[in-house]
Amino acid sequence: MTSVLFIEASSGGVLGGSLTGLYHLIRGMDRSRFRIGMALYETKPIEADLAQLDVRVHHIARRRLPKQHPLIGHGGYERARRVGAVRTALSTGRQTARLLVEEFPAALALARVIRRERADVLHLGNGVRANFDGILAGLLTGTPVICHVKGFEKYGARERWAARRTTLICMTRAILDYCHTHGVHAADERIVYDAVDETWLTPRRDAASVRRELGIPLEAPCIGLAGNVQEWKGQHVVVEALALLADRPDVHCVIAGGVHRAGAQYAATLRDRIEALGLASRVHLTGFRSDIPDVMAAWDVVVHASVRPEPFGRVILEGMLLGKPVIASDAGGVRELITDGETGYLTPPGDAAALAARLRAVLADPNAAAVGARARAQARERFSLQHHVDSMSAIYEAIARAPTQ
C-alpha cells in the first residue's frame, strides 16, 4: 500500500479550488491501494468530509511575516527601493527572513507529520512558491515530492532550484508553458487536467426551491458566478455588465462564494456599487455555500469573469458538467476547456461591455441549451474524474517504487 500525504498550504479563511480538487481526487482513489493523510495550514470547512473518507488531517501552524511595514510609502524608502542594488538587498533580506521565520519552521513541523504518516509520496497542492517549505520537508526526510502547479506564480532563483527536485504536475498546458518561459523545469513534468466528481455535482434540490430561497422569480432569467469574492475573480465586471443590460431588467444575478480574507474591502466596495447601480433587488450575494451544485443548477447561464488569466477554472468545468452554457474570460487555461461558440463562449477579461453583449445574445439564443449539452458531453469525455484519478494514482505508485537517488 502506498502512503500519500497531501499538503495544502492555502490560507485566507475560504475553501478554494485547490483543496476542492484534492478532495475530488481523494474521493476517487482506491483505498485498498492508498493510505491518505492531509496537512492543512488552517482549519477548513471541508474537514468533516475528509474525516468521512478516513483521511487523517494534521494542522501546521505557520508563522507569517507581515506584508506591510511602517516604511512603505515613506519618500526616502521608496526612492531607495528604486536603486537596483538596494532593491536586490531588500529582496534578499526578505527572502532570508521568510525562510528563517516562516518556511524552515514549517518544514520541520511537516517533517514530523511525514514521519508520523510514514509517507511514501508528498503531494503539494499549491505550486512551487507557496509550497517551498513542503519541498524542504521532502528533502529533510528523503520523501519524493510531487509539486502540483495550479497557477501563474512569481518565480525566482530559489523556485527554479526547488522545482528541479520535484515531479512537476501542471493543471494545463498553459501553466507548463508559463513555467518554461520563466525557467522552471523538472526532470519529470506532466500535464494532468483536474476533474469534478459528478456524483458530488448532482443537485439534491430542485431549481424552483433554490430560487424561492434566494428570492429569484421562477420565470426570471438568472446568471451566476461561483468563487471566492476577491478582485481578480471579477465579480465587479459582472455587476457592471448587468447594469449595461438596461433592456433586460428581468435578469437576476447570483454571486456565490465566501469573502477571501484579502478581499474584505473589495467585497464592501462591491456591495456599495450594487446599491449605487440600483441592482440590490436583482444581485444576490449568498456568501459561502456548501450546496453549490444546487445553487448552480438554478442558473440559466454560468459566468466566469476573472480579470487575470485563469490557470484552469474549476467553476467552468462544473457549469459544463451541469449542462449549462458557460461564458468565460478568454485567457490562460480557459482556452483548453472551451471552444468559443461550440462548447461555451469566450469574452475579453475585464470587459463589461463585451460581457453584457454576450449575455444579451446568449439569453436570447434558443440554441444556447445545445451548446450546454455539447459542453457536458465534452467535459465527461476529456475531464472525467476516473481519468484524473487513474493518472494521478499511476504517478504516485511509480514515484513510490522508484529507487532513491
Instruction: Tell me, yes or no, whether 217 and 350 share the same domain.
Output: yes
Q: State pLDDT tens for residues 238-250.
A: 999 999 999 999 9
Instruction: Tell me, yes or no, whether 173 and 225 share the same domain.
Output: no
d(CA 370, CA 324): 9
Phi then psi for residue 238, to 5 deg, are -65, -40
d(CA 267, CA 321): 29
Per-residue CA distances from 304 to 158, 276, 318, 376 (Å): 33, 23, 11, 16
Angle at the Cα of 348 from the Cα atoms of 360 and 152, rounded to 5 degrees: 135
Instruction: Tell me, yes or no, whether 176 and 214 share the same domain.
Output: no
SS (H, E, C) 192-234: CCCCCCHHHHCCCCCHHHHHHHHCCCCCCCEEEEECCECHHHC
Q: Is the dihedral of CA 168, 170, 173, 179 positive or negative?
A: negative
Q: Once rounded to an integer, what is the mean pLDDT over residues 13-38? A: 87
In contact, 239 and 279? CB cutoff 8 Å: yes
81 pLDDT exceeds 90?
no
In contact, 148 and 176? CB cutoff 8 Å: no
Q: Is 12 exposed, middle or buried (0-12, 13-18, 19+ CB in 10 A)?
A: middle
* pLDDT score, position 173: 94
* pLDDT score, position 66: 63
d(CA 389, CA 4): 13
CA end-to-end span of the chain: 22
Q: Is 71 exposed, middle or buried (0-12, 13-18, 19+ CB in 10 A)?
A: exposed
90 pLDDT exceeds 60?
no
Instruction: Pick the closest to residue 39 from 128, 151, 137 (CA basis).
Output: 137
Q: Once rounded to an integer, what is the mean pLDDT over residues 88-108? A: 72
Phi then psi for residue 259, to 5 deg, are -90, 120
Lowest-confidence range among 85-89, 114-118, 137-141, 241-245? 85-89
Instruction: Pick the closest to residue 372 from 324, 303, 318 (CA basis).
Output: 324
DSSP reduced 3-state for 25: helix
In contact, 279 and 248? CB cutoff 8 Å: no
Instruction: Tell me, yes or no, whether 204 and 180 share the same domain.
Output: no
- State the total domains in the chain: 2
Instruction: Tell me, yes or no, whether 153 and 223 share the same domain.
Output: no
Instruction: Tell me, yes or no, whether 208 and 135 share the same domain.
Output: no
Residue type at 353 in one-letter notation: A
Instruction: Tell me, yes or no, whether 179 and 250 share the same domain.
Output: no
d(CA 19, CA 44): 9
* pLDDT score, position 260: 78
110 pLDDT exceeds 80?
yes
* pLDDT score, position 20: 85
Task: Look up the CATH number of the domain holding residue 131.
Answer: 3.40.50.2000
Other residues' Cβ atoms within 10 Å of the Cβ of residue 380: 13
404 pLDDT exceeds 70?
no
Instruction: Tell me, yes or no, whether 160 and 179 share the same domain.
Output: yes
Give the residue, 20 or 74, on which the prediction is more confident: 20
Q: Once rounded to an integer, what is the mean pLDDT over residues 331-345? A: 93
**pLDDT grade for 99, boundaries at 50, 70 and 90:** low
**pLDDT grade for 89, boundaries at 50, 70 and 90:** low
In contact, 293 and 201? CB cutoff 8 Å: yes
Q: State pLDDT tens for residues 312-324.
A: 888 999 999 999 9
Instruction: Tell me, yes or no, whether 375 and 250 share the same domain.
Output: yes
Largest CA distance in the chain: 66
Instruction: Tell me, yes or no, whether 244 and 262 share the same domain.
Output: yes
The distance of Cα 255 from the centroid of its chain, to the nearest Å, equals: 17
* pLDDT score, position 314: 86
Instruction: Tell me, yes or no, whether 187 and 251 share the same domain.
Output: no
Average pLDDT, whole number, for the chain? 89
Give the residue, 310 or 11, on which the prediction is more confident: 310
Q: Which helix (H) or strand (E) holds 119?
A: none
Instruction: Tell me, yes or no, whether 91 and 142 share the same domain.
Output: yes
Kindly give the pairing relationship between strand 188-191 and strand 283-287: unpaired
d(CA 352, CA 238): 7
Structural domain of residue 337, as residue ranges?
198-382
78 pLDDT exceeds 60?
no
User: Which neighbouring-strand residues pair with 170?
Assistant: 149, 191
